[in-house]
């Protein structure tokens, strides 16, 4: 507990010092004017040290109550309740900013389900949504889906839902503002992946890491609109317990999630029972049990989610083409998929070679700006790529201006369930930056005006791993 508080306080102090570093210069300059000796400079440094120490003490007092507990404390407080739960409602983005999709489950004993949405916390103006219910024989549960429409921009809505003869508490979400878009990007929380301990200890380890990342990210970055998860939300596609634990993080009651089908999820129908994805009924040449790709518009960003487990090129082209034709005026085009074509060690992986052959040519054809992926369990970032080659685009102040191709960003594990090492002697020529510290990571994609930025953080001290931007002028 104390270590967590220390790390959180350190982050706050670092941010303060970064913003107000000019205090240091003032102190130093003032002492340079007196005798100009080493003694004076030492005094200045001591004054600054005392100032920072006091700041740390104040920060500890102010922020200690918000720090997440140690794993053991968290387990003692939450685990029994989580084991008894059977899943929670998930929101997914609607077709555009005016819609929000919902999905939740109930047991085979009860198919009745309701959901109400309104703008008042007491639900006095709430309206019932139409609910579509179906029985999933694989999960042996009912899946319920609904869509809220005609939502107003920059507005907080409240909702509650009915399942298994019980009404939930009231939750809320806030619709997009047209000024900017902020996305939390994660991957491979993969509940059930950790390889040490009993089955229950593995679930505890992964779930705790996932909780810690989600809490840190959402507390540190206000104004997040939704979450993109680049696949492998669970280790075993058939495990409803793993899905339930992944979904149990409280932040997912307030933020919609756009989830990618990973290689640990594509072989059963469980995934499609949990995510009510928009535009998912596109006719394509091939579908797997989990469903297929989908797309949606958020402000001026077209998000296209692909299932990279599918090796049929025409399937991917049809989805990308349909998305671009549906929203031809989108300023930004972002693809999310599980397998990275250009990660640090892409040359070693058969899956990378497959995605290069079956998917990336369509990125060139339709002008995809950014590809977000996972699977590798380490962080890496490419140069700008087109026609399977590095372009001559120049990186200036961490920014590519009017790039000629696509930028590829691959995420590390967001929970610490599993880390892969990087063969630094065999990094591919397309990779510009790579990183692995065996610490969970998350990224914030921030889009405002003419600039799209992706900044990646470690969870141990919330330090910046990498930042990269694309500008269109």
* Sign of the alpha-carbon dihedral angle for 247, 251, 253, 256: negative
pLDDT by residue (tens digit) across 207-246? 999 999 999 999 999 999 999 999 999 999 999 999 999 9
Residue 6 pLDDT > 80, yes or no? no
CA-CA distance, 36 to 29, in Å (whole number)?
Answer: 10
Residue 462 pLDDT > 90, yes or no? yes
pLDDT by residue (tens digit) across 128-155? 999 999 998 877 889 999 999 999 999 9
DSSP label of 138: T
Higher pLDDT, 42 or 188: 188
Q: Which token pair is 287?
A: 């579908």
Residue 30 pLDDT > 60, yes or no? no
pTM: 0.86
Q: Give every CB contact of residue 174 below 8 A, 6+ residues apart in sequence.
A: 154, 155, 156, 157
Q: How many CB atoms lie within 10 A of CB 452?
A: 24
Q: Quick one: what percent of the chain has pLDDT higher than 90?
A: 74
Element (H, E) at 55: helix 38-63
CA-CA distance, 280 to 156, in Å (whole number)?
Answer: 27
| Mean pLDDT, the chain, integer | 86
Phi-psi region of 3 (alpha: psi -120 to 50; beta: other; left: phi over 0): alpha
Q: What backbone torsions phi and psi does residue 154 show, to the nearest 5 degrees?
A: 50, 50
pLDDT at position 42, please? 45
- 25-52 burial, b at 16+ Cβ within 10 Å, e below that, comes to eebeeebeeeeeeeebeeebeeeeeeee
Q: What backbone torsions phi and psi does residue 211 show, to the nearest 5 degrees?
A: -60, -45
C-beta pairs of 62-69 under 8 Å, 24+ apart in sequence: 62/12, 63/5, 63/8, 63/9, 63/12, 64/5, 64/8, 64/9, 66/8, 66/219, 67/1, 67/4, 67/5, 67/7, 67/8, 68/4, 68/211, 68/212, 68/215, 68/216, 69/1, 69/4
pLDDT at position 178, please? 82
CA-CA distance, 186 to 274, in Å (whole number)?
Answer: 18
Q: What is the mean pLDDT of residues 388-394?
A: 97
If you search the block for the tokens 């890491």, which residue do you land on? Answer: 209
Note whether 456 and 433 are within 8 A (CB): no
Note whether 78 and 127 are within 8 A (CB): no
pLDDT at position 58, please? 35
If you search the block for the tokens 């869509």, which residue do you land on? Answer: 147
**C-alpha distances in Å from residue 329, one per residue of 182, 189, 196, 243, 351:** 20, 34, 49, 36, 32
Residues linked to residue 371 through DSSP beta bridges, in sequence order: 335, 408
Q: Which of 5-19, 278-292, 406-420 has the lowest mean pLDDT?
A: 5-19
DSSP label of 439: S
Tell me, rounded to whole angstroms, the distance of Cα 256 from its chain centroid: 10
Note whether 445 and 453 are within 8 A (CB): yes
pLDDT at position 143, please? 94
pLDDT by residue (tens digit) across 81-114? 998 887 789 999 999 999 999 999 998 777 889 9
**Which of 240, 244, 254, 218 has the alpha carbon at shortest distance from 414?**
218
Q: Which token pair is 272?
A: 């499609």
pLDDT band at 352 (very low <50, low <70, confident <90, very high): confident
Identical fold for domains 98-174 and 181-471, yes or no, is: no
* CATH fold group of domain 98-174: Immunoglobulin-like (2.60.40)
Q: How many CB atoms lie within 10 A of CB 281?
A: 10
Residue 21 pLDDT > 50, yes or no? no
pLDDT at position 367, please? 98
Higher pLDDT, 71 or 26: 71
- Please provide the CATH number assigned to the domain covering 181-471: 3.60.21.10
**Which of 338, 325, 330, 341 has the alpha carbon at shortest distance from 301?**
330
pLDDT at position 394, please? 97
pLDDT by residue (tens digit) across 275-332? 999 998 677 778 788 888 999 999 999 999 999 999 999 999 999 999 999 999 999 9
pLDDT by residue (tens digit) across 31-79? 333 333 433 434 444 444 434 333 333 333 333 334 578 999 999 999 9
**Which of 324, 417, 413 has the alpha carbon at shortest distance from 369?**
324
pLDDT at position 103, please? 97
**Which of 293, 296, 332, 236 has the alpha carbon at shortest distance from 92?**
296
Per-domain residue ranges for the chain? Answer: 2-66, 98-174, 181-471
In terms of DSSP bridges, do strands 395-396 and 90-93 run parallel, antiparallel, or are they unpaired? Answer: unpaired
């Amino acid at each position: 507990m104390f270590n967590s508080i220390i790390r959180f306080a350190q982050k706050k102090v670092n941010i303060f010092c970064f913003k107000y570093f000019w205090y240091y210069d003032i102190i130093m300059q003032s002492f340079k004017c007196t005798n100009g000796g080493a003694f004076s400079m030492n005094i200045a440094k001591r004054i600054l040290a005392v100032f920072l120490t006091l700041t740390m003490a104040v920060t500890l007092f102010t922020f200690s109550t918000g720090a997440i507990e140690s794993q053991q404390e968290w387990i003692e407080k939450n685990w029994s309740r989580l084991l008894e739960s059977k899943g929670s409602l998930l929101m997914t983005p609607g077709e555009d900013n005016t819609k929000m999709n919902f999905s939740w489950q109930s047991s085979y004993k009860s198919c009745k389900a309701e959901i109400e949405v309104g703008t008042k916390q007491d639900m006095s103006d709430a309206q019932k949504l139409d609910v579509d219910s179906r029985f999933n024989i694989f999960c042996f549960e009912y899946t319920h889906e609904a869509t809220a429409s005609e939502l107003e921009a920059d507005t907080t809505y409240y909702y509650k839902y009915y399942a298994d003869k019980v009404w939930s508490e009231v939750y809320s979400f806030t619709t997009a503002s047209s000024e900017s878009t902020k996305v939390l990007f994660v991957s491979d929380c993969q509940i059930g992946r950790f390889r040490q301990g009993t089955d229950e200890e593995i679930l505890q380890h992964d779930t705790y890491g996932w909780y810690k990342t989600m809490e840190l990210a959402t507390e540190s970055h206000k104004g997040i609109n939704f979450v993109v998860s680049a696949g492998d939300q669970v280790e075993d596609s058939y495990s409803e317990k793993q899905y339930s634990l992944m979904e149990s993080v409280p932040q997912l009651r307030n933020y919609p999630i756009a989830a990618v089908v990973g290689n640990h999820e594509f072989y059963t129908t469980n995934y499609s029972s949990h995510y009510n994805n928009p535009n998912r009924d596109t006719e394509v040449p091939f579908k797997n049990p989990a469903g297929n790709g989908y797309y949606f518009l958020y402000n001026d960003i077209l998000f296209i989610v692909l299932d990279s487990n599918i090796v049929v090129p025409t399937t991917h082209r049809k989805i990308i083409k349909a998305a671009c034709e549906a929203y031809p005026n989108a300023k930004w085009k972002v693809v999310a998929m599980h397998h990275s074509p250009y990660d640090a060690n892409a040359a070693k992986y058969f899956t990378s070679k497959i995605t290069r052959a079956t998917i990336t040519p369509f990125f060139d054809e339709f002008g995809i700006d950014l590809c977000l992926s996972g699977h590798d369990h380490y962080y890496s970032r490419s140069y700008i790529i087109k026609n399977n080659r590095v372009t001559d685009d120049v990186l200036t102040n961490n920014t590519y201006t009017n790039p000629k191709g696509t930028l590829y960003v691959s995420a590390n594990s967001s929970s610490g369930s599993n880390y892969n090492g990087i063969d630094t002697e065999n990094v591919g020529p397309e990779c510009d930056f790579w990183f692995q510290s065996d610490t969970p990571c998350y990224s914030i994609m921030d889009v405002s005006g003419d600039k799209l930025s992706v900044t990646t953080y470690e969870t141990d001290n919330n330090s910046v791993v990498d930042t990269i931007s694309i500008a269109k002028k």
